[in-house]
């Protein structure tokens, strides 16, 4: 067992993978000498050199375009976007090129790259640096999407992402970087694309991912004091999506809440709710409830920011209402 932060686990995953695979390199703004916007790549340039940690101009299309070309040529790039909010500037390179290459070339070539980026609230970073845009990625066929919630998964999901034959968008929640856990990284992780059930209860199934896992677990502890027991599922990856685990728990319990930090309208929670309703309808005792972010820009005000996304208190309130 060792105590690691989320940030350190990501750094360890990159270090271990780069030692094993000489075709891996990191490219992005300030990833080399500065060590990355959130310090994940700090110190790696001393071991791997400037040829494998490429500092770039401030041009997200250039970063992703270079990574796509390098991946097609046989390398395995890790491209870092400082914030997921900037993913819109890379939509041609990422969604029209990286996501489509394997299909358009009849499977003869892929784009084995990882796009690391940061999303979510909690740092008072304002409306242009605090969004949860995973629905953009989930909506695009050809892109894989991982969103680790724990230190253990930060390490193992990144290691697994660096073995995939197709592009993986890897979104790290910016409020988790300093979270620390006692972990044993030698314990085999779940398979790529497999969800984890963190606790089981008889009353409500809660499907969630990323930082909201911790809010839901806090809510579950509080609700348990009054006899309400939640089943909590951490999806870990949104593409591939482990719907079989969701189905099994829904069929057992019958009441479902989906919790996401992304905006309510046309978001991940909406997609999951629709699919659960379609495929598990005969087992549902009532409609699936979405708990998601407000359909508003994120405020720089800490109090307004906090109240624009789900909190443990709100999850508790919804669970109690579902059981009233």
- In this structure, the answer to whether residues 98 and 135 fall within a common structural domain is yes
162 and 37, same structural domain? yes
Percent of the chain with pLDDT over 70: 100
Across residues 266-282, what is the average pLDDT?
98
Rounded to an integer, what distance in angstroms lies between the CA atom of residue 83 and that of residue 212?
19
Do 46 and 99 reside in the same domain of the chain?
yes
CATH of the domain at 152: 3.40.50.970
Looking at residue 152, what is its pLDDT?
Answer: 97
Based on the fold, state whether residues 24 and 103 are members of the same structural domain. yes
Residues 93 and 143 in one domain: yes
Q: Are residues 93 and 68 in the same domain?
A: yes
Residue 16 lies in a domain: yes
Gap between the Cα atoms of 79 and 28, Å rounded: 6
DSSP structural state of residue 180:
E
pLDDT range class, residue 280, cuts 50, 70, 90? very high
Residue 44: pLDDT band (50, 70, 90) is very high
- Asked whether residue 147 falls in the same domain as residue 266, the answer is no
Out of 158, 183, 208, pick the residue that ends a domain: 183
**Pair 238, 107: CB distance under 8 Å:** no
* Residue 191 in tokens: 């398979």
The answer to whether position 309 is within a domain reads: yes
Q: Please list the active-site residues.
A: 60, 129
Domain encompassing residue 257:
196-322
Please compute the mean of the pLDDT values over residues 263-285 and round it to a whole number: 98
Two tokens, residue 5: 């932060």
Helix (H) or strand (E) holding 138: helix 134-138
Q: How confident is the model at residue 307, as a pLDDT?
A: 95
The string of pLDDT tens digits covering residues 66-119 is 999 999 999 999 999 999 999 999 999 999 999 999 999 999 999 999 999 999
Residues 132 and 51 in one domain: yes
Concatenated DSSP letters for 78-129? EEEES-GGGGGGGHIIIIIIITTHHHHTTTS-----EEEEEE-SSS---TTS
Question: At 242, is the pLDDT very low, low, confident or very high (cuts 50, 70, 90)?
Answer: very high
Residue 283: its pLDDT value, please?
98
Do 137 and 260 fall within a single domain? no
Residues 210 and 242 in one domain: yes
Q: What is the pLDDT of residues 2-13, one digit of tens each?
A: 999 999 999 999
CA distances for 324 relative to 212, 302, 310, 321, angstroms = 24, 32, 20, 5
Q: pLDDT tens for residues 136-165?
A: 999 999 999 999 999 999 999 999 999 999
Report, as an integer, the average pLDDT of 281-291: 97
CB 125 within 8 A of CB 180: no
Model pTM score: 0.97
Number of domains in the chain: 2
**Cα(157)–Cα(237) distance, integer angstroms:** 9
**188 located within any domain:** no
Q: What is the mean pLDDT of the chain?
A: 97
* pLDDT at residue 59, rounded to an integer: 97
Question: Residue 34: what pLDDT?
Answer: 95
Instruction: Report the pLDDT value the prediction gives residue 317, as an integer from 0 to 100.
Output: 98
Q: By C-alpha distance, which of 101, 60, 50 is closest to 80?
A: 60
pLDDT for 96 equals 97
Element housing 4 (H / E): strand 2-5
The whole-number pLDDT of residue 139 equals 97
Res 129: pLDDT: 96
């Amino acid at each position: 067992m060792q105590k690691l932060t989320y940030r350190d686990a990501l750094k360890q995953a990159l270090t271990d993978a780069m030692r094993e695979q000489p075709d891996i390199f990191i490219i992005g703004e300030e990833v080399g000498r500065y060590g990355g916007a959130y310090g994940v790549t700090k110190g790696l340039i001393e071991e791997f050199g400037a040829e494998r940690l490429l500092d770039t101009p401030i041009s997200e299309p250039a970063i992703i375009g270079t990574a796509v070309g390098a991946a097609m040529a046989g390398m395995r790039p890790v491209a870092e976007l400082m914030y997921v909010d900037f993913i819109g500037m890379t939509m041609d390179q990422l969604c029209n090129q990286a996501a489509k290459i394997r299909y358009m070339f009849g499977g003869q070539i892929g784009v084995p790259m990882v796009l690391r980026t940061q999303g979510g609230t909690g740092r008072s970073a304002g409306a242009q640096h605090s969004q949860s845009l995973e629905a953009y990625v989930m909506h695009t066929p050809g892109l894989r999407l991982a969103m680790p919630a724990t230190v253990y998964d930060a390490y193992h999901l990144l290691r697994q992402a660096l073995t995939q034959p197709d592009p993986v968008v890897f979104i790290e929640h910016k409020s988790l970087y300093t979270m620390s856990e006692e972990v044993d990284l030698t314990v085999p992780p779940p398979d790529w694309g497999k969800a984890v059930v963190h606790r089981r209860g008889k009353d409500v199934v809660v499907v969630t991912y990323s930082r909201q896992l911790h809010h839901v677990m806090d809510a579950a502890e509080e609700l348990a004091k009054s006899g309400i027991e939640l089943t909590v599922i951490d999806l870990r990856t949104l593409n591939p999506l482990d719907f079989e685990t969701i189905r099994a728990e829904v069929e057992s319990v019958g009441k479902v809440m989906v919790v996401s930090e992304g905006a309510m309208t046309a978001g991940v929670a909406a997609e999951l709710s629709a699919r659960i309703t379609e495929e598990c309808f005969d087992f549902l005792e009532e409609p699936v409830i979405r708990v998601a972010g407000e359909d508003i820009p994120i405020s720089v005000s800490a109090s307004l920011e906090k109240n624009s996304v789900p909190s443990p208190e709100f999850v508790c309130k919804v669970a109690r209402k579902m059981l009233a």
